[in-house]
A and B are shown apart, each in its own frame.
Chain A
Amino acid sequence: MAKIVIDDRTPELPDDEMGKYRDFSRIQSRFQQVSHGIRKKRLNKIRNRYWFLAVLVILLMLVFMLT
């Protein structure tokens, strides 16, 4: 756990300063990046699964042909 320092009181937060950071577009653009990444990952997962199944089918066909 972090080192704790106990102060007498919490200093005041300047309200006008806080307003500068109130910006939903920042969240929105980050969300778009993340959701794009998630979609890409999901697509790769499906693609990998199809490749795996294709290789499995070819292998099974080879086994049947050889026996």
Chain B
Amino acid sequence: MPEHMDEIKLIEAAKKNPQAFEALYYLYHDRIFRFVWSKVRHMETSADITSDVFMKALVNLTSYSHQGFPFSAWLFRLATNETNIYFRKSGKEKHVAIHPEMKGEWDTYLETAESRQRLAEVLENLPPDDFKLIEWRFFDGFAFKEIAEMESSTEAAVKMKVYRILDVLKTQLIRRG
């Protein structure tokens, strides 16, 4: 039986009985924790945010409908929202690092502390939805297909959006020298 069929069965079971959510929790806990930790870099805070993510997933599970995307895409979207709320409320700095597989494209912007600072400033000025796409792709290292699943969109549409945002970013970086 395909893996996603098992997942659908687990989701349907959890809708009827919250105890059945346990299997989904243990299936995805580590991936979500790791994702949150890569942004927050603090164990207790990551644990709290991860707990909030699963809590929200469980509370809203009845309204979740499977549309052909993996359940993890929904969880990552919730995790992104929760970490954004954390940073907004705490006013803390958000530490990010270009994903090792994406480094080639960004080398020129990462050479010196000044160029990194310039890139950070340009990123801060992006609309939140645009930053989210750049973050998923270049800092978290998600494939376009995975981002499309998180956005409930198509791979081609996401690719187009990301390249458009990159153009804007590059223009702004050139303008800043």
Contact = CB atoms under 8 A, between A and B. Distances in A.
Q: Pick the most buried of A6, A7, A17, A21: most chain B CB atoms within 10 A of its CB.
A: A6
B41 A4 contact: no
A18 B25 contact: no
Contacts, number: 88
Nearest to A34: B59
A24 B26 CA distance: 8
Interface stretch (B4-12, B84-92, B153-161): B84-92
B87 A2 contact: yes
B59 A2 contact: no
Nearest to A17: B43
B100 A18 contact: no
Contacts of B13: none
Interface string B21-37: 11001100110011001
**Chain A interface extent, by class:** 20 to 34
A30 B87 CA distance: 23
Nearest to A11: B41
Contact of B19 (A5, A18, A28, A34): A28
Given A1-B124, A5-B120, A22-B29, A27 B55 contact: yes
A28 B18 contact: yes
B120 to A, nearest CB: 4
Contacts of A18: 30, 33-34, 37, 43
Contacts of A2: 87-88, 91-94, 124
A9 B103 CA distance: 10
Nearest to B120: A4
Interface in A21-55: 21-22, 24, 26-28, 30-31, 34-35
Given A1-B131, A13-B34, A18-B33, A6 B120 contact: yes
B16 interface: no
Given A6-B116, A22-B30, A34-B55, A1 B93 contact: no
Interface of B: 18-19, 21-22, 25-26, 29-30, 33-34, 37-38, 41, 43, 46-47, 50-51, 54-55, 58-59, 87-88, 91-98, 100, 110, 116-117, 119-120, 123-124, 126, 128, 131
